[in-house]
Structure 1
Amino acid sequence: LATAGVAVAGSASAADLPVVAEPVDYVQVCDAYGAGFFKIPGKDTCLKIGGRIRTQFATDNLQDNEGDKYEDYSAYAKGYLYLTSMTDTEIGLIKTYTEFNSKWDQAGSGKVEAGSAYLQIGASYADILIGRTTSQFDGFTGAVDAGIITRNWSDKSTLQFALAKSFGNGVTAAISAEDSSYRDGDTNSADYVGKVGIAQGWGSFEVAAALHDTVEGAEDNYGYAVRGTATINLDMIAEGDAFVFQAAYADSATHYLGANEVLKGLVTGYDDAEQLDAEGVKGFGLGAGFTHFWTSEVATSIDGSYLSLESDLASGNYDIDRWAIDASIGWYPVSGMVIALDGGFANTEYDAAGTNNDVDFDDAKIGARVQYTF
């Protein structure tokens, strides 16, 4: 009996022992890099996942340039996926960014492609960037919510190697080597870009310059472009209000003026900037935009551009002038959502001396966009 009692007591003691729980890896928030970052379990890397859904409708050209009856429209639904990682290492903070997007349009065609993709190392002397992202030359690229009408300014992502430095008090500078083919230039070659800017409570000012390698056989082996952009914050009118003015000049580097498709579909042989640069075309571009918030949820924006180009060919000169204006009203009911109506008008004139190939083309469109970013 004593032995049995001991056995029973032993069994009861074993049953009373606590059960050891399996280890659990909880997701750890990375506050140091901003909202939305979390630590990947088992890694020193913090990751942020974001995205966007954009739907848009736009009419065809409402101007009757050729007597054709209006029938067409464009529409699409586009999804974006953004992946941003941050890793603190002994050589500095390493950031990676990858963007994917998919699109379906009114013709029933769809596509999936990659957007920006780059690696950035925060070294002690400068931030080193390698990959594809917005060109270091680009400045103001519009104020409106949709931009139904094409305006002319530089707005291009390029494959690049860049060094950027912050000097404190809002002063920054960057230099880069960017693939020339992204600017309708020579292949297996680079454009060289530099910029310097300052940002303060009143706004910001930035200047940029680019040396462009033109295609083989061009009138000039190299072209160049310069840009200046000023932004004035107008919070004294309403929070978020701002006015932007930009001016740029280019010689044999018209893509930097946003002129790469200015004659596409209007003059044969000028579907991009390659031929313009090969013929030594030079010119300037102006851009401006203004945004006013009527309330924290409703804003109106207007922007526009003016482009003027001229050639100096022995075979005959030509001039190109184009102006465009676009306006929108946007409603932002919740953070990240935009519901906007947009409309614009543009006029393109092409005057070729001694020919009957002159063009005077008007373009007018209206549209709507619903977009949510998270």
Structure 2
Amino acid sequence: MNFKKIAIAAAAAAAATPAMAADLPVVAEPVNYVQACDAFGAGYFQLPGQDTCIRVHGRIRTNFTTHDLTKDYEATAYDPDGIPDNADDVSANAYDAYARGYVYLESMTDTEFASIKTYTELTATWNDDANDDGDQGIVGLGNAYVQLGFDNVSVLIGRSGGVFDPFGGYSEIGTVGPVAGGEDALQISATADLGNGLTASFGVLDSDAYGGATKAANFEAGLSMTQGMYSASVFAAAHAYDADAATTTAQDVDYGYAFAAQVEANISDSVKVGFGAAYADSALSYIGGDRDFTQFADALGTTGYNLVAGAEFGLSDTVTAALDASYTSLDVSGFDASVTTVNASVVYAPVAGLKFVLDGGVARDSEDGELAQVSTRVQYSF
């Protein structure tokens, strides 16, 4: 067979054949590609066809805390001899463990009016104590807010950490202490950049988050400065509390107050130190008081102060250690009480986002009461 003649004949036939529909040009459908929003930081991407950029990230945390190591694990409030006799003698000095997932949803939009940021924190928790009744977990909402950014001022509306934010040490968990105030609360707050590292903040917050009066407002203000390796802040708060909380069911709103100051210094690339002091009068939540206890202590005119010091050390590229100490003193209707705490932690972070934590501490109060606990944590943020 003459392959050369066959090839020539085939080429001639193809040249004489009319163009088919498949040979006609085809218009490609438009594709909306996801684009990164570098202006807002890593992880943001633009929604197709919109001016809004979003970021979705999260965290998984498992945490275990021992019982009070200064006491017999089997001792119970129901059994003076310390020997459980039946199922009702469940130890009040047991360990605590939980697993919790976090999902953070953020959005950023530039408009002619202001930059608009939204933040939503969703949580799902399995706690060995909270879920003893057979529940399949606890789903919750953490902080959620809208933040409007203008030239040098930002305004936050929603639930977030308060303006009053005293130094609380560097320990990763703070199993025992040190104690410091500061709560997440519904609020309207504003922060202004005054230039040269100086910022000023003011907020109106829900007092109930601080164990205060219901349907009443706390007022907080702060002034912070950062200059090179040093930073310093001062805070003040007016706290609405129920003056009749300890005697009647009717609410009589009165105001207490709190002040705090702190200073931090980056001594080197691997060493940071900090110190803080706070004072409160009928506003014990601001120095770390238990929320339920403060409802009555504030009505009694309780005063108190705390001192907190801490240091953080970068031992290597993957290991960080911290050591903190605090002293808190209270005057409750003429009765003085105090507690001293020491807490430490070691964090191993072999890769970005992953942490293995060992944290623990001891405490002693003015009545010679003691507490010692250790926590471990595995956490991954993405």
TM-score, reference length from structure 2? 0.85
Is the 8 Å Cα contact of residues 331 and 340 (structure 1) preserved in structure 2? yes
Output one character per residue of 1:56-81: Cα deviation in whole Å (capped at 9) or x when no partner: 11110011279826872111111111
Structure 1 letter corresponding to 2:255: Y
Tell me how far 1:105 sits from its aligned partner. 2.1
SS at match of 1:278: coil
Instruction: Provide the rounded CA distance (Å) in 2 between the counterparts of 1:339 and 1:44.
Output: 39
Q: How does 1:113-128 map to 2 (within 5 A)?
A: 113-124=140-151, 126-128=153-155
- State how 1:99-248 maps to structure 2 within 5 Å: 99-107=121-129, 109=131, 110-124=137-151, 126-217=153-244, 221-235=254-268, 239-248=269-278
SS in 1 for 2:315: strand
SS in 1 for 2:159: strand
Instruction: Tell me how far apart the structure 2 counterparts of residues 99 and 133 of structure 1 sit (CA, whole Å).
Output: 10
**Cα distance in 2 for residues equivalent to 1:201 and 1:373:** 29
Q: Give 1:299's aligned residue.
A: 320
SS of 1:20's equivalent in the other structure is coil
Deviations 1:73-96 (A, max 9, x none): 111111111111100001110011
Cα distance in 1, alignment partners of residues 347 and 356 from structure 2: 6
Identity, % of aligned positions:
41
**Which stretch has the larger CA shift, 205-214 or 303-312?**
303-312
Q: CA deviation at 1:348?
A: 2.7
8 Å CA contact 2:177–2:325 kept in 1: the answer is no
Q: Tell me which residue corresponds to 1:272.
A: 293
The answer for unaligned runs of 5 or more in structure 2 is 1-12, 76-81, 83-90, 132-136, 246-251
Q: Secondary structure at the match of 1:139?
A: coil
Give the one of 270, 276, 284 matched to 1:254: 284
Instruction: Give the 3-state SS of the residue equivalent to 1:197 in structure 2.
Output: strand
Q: Secondary structure at the match of 2:189?
A: strand
Deviation at 1:283, TM superposition (A): 1.3
- Secondary structure at the aligned position of 2:306 is classed as strand
Aligned residue number for residue 374 of structure 2: 366
The amino acid of 2:23's aligned partner reads D
Say yes or no: does 1:334 pair with 2:341. no
CA RMSD of aligned residues (A): 2.1
| Cα distance in structure 2, aligned partners of 1:65 and 1:173 | 50
For 1:92, the aligned partner's letter is A
User: Pairwise mapping of residues 8-87 of structure 1 onto structure 2 (< 5 A)?
Assistant: 9-10=17-18, 12-64=19-71, 68=75, 72-87=94-109
Task: Tell me the equivalent position of 1:283.
Answer: 304
How many angstroms apart in 2 are the aligned matches of 1:82 and 1:337? 17
Task: Give 1:155 shift.
Answer: 3.2
**C-alpha separation between the residues in 2 aligned to 1:296 and 1:192?**
42
Write the distance in 1 (CA, Å) between the matches of 2:168 and 2:29: 54
1:265 is aligned to none
Residue of structure 2 in register with 1:267 after alignment: none
In our comparison, the structure showing a higher alpha carbon Rg is 2
- Contact 2:242 2:253 (8 Å CA) reproduced: no
- Structure 1 letter corresponding to 2:340: W
Amino acid at match of 2:380: Y
* In 2: Cα distance, 1:107 partner to 1:196 partner: 40
* Helix, strand or coil at the partner of 2:235: strand
Q: 1:65 to 1:244 in 2, by over 3 A?
A: farther
Q: Could you tell me how far apart the structure 1 residues matched to 2:275 and 2:21 are?
A: 79
Q: Kindly report which structure 2 residues correspond to 1:336-351, keeping only aligned pairs within 5 A, or say none.
A: 336-349=353-366
Q: Is the 8 A contact 1:286 1:306 kept in 2?
A: yes
Amino acid across the alignment from 1:253: A
**How far is the alpha carbon of 1:129 from its aligned partner?**
0.7
**Contact 1:287–1:304 at 8 Å: present in 2 too?**
yes
Deviation at 1:203, TM superposition (A): 2.1
| Residues 142-173 of structure 1: CA deviation (Å, up to 9, x unaligned) | 31122221432113101110011011221100
Residue 94 of structure 1 corresponds to 116
Deviation at 1:213, TM superposition (A): 0.9
CA distance in structure 2 between the partners assigned to 1:172 and 1:120 by the alignment: 17
Letter in 1 for 2:113: I
Structure 1 gap ranges (5+): 262-270, 350-358
Question: Secondary structure, in 3 states, of the residue corresponding to 1:343?
Answer: strand
**What's the CA shift for 1:360?**
3.8
CA distance in 2, matches of 1:106, 1:221: 39
- CA displacement at 1:318 relative to structure 2: 1.3
Work out whether residues 220 and 280 of structure 1, in 8 Å CA contact, stay in contact via their aligned partners in 2. no
2:86 is aligned to none
Q: Rate the CA distance shift 1:322–1:67 in 2: closer, same or farther, 3 A.
A: farther
Cα deviation 1:195-232 (Å, max 9, x = unaligned): 00101221200000001111142698210000001001
Amino acid in structure 1 at the alignment position of 2:373: K
Residues of 1 paired with 2:265 and 2:307: CA distance?
16
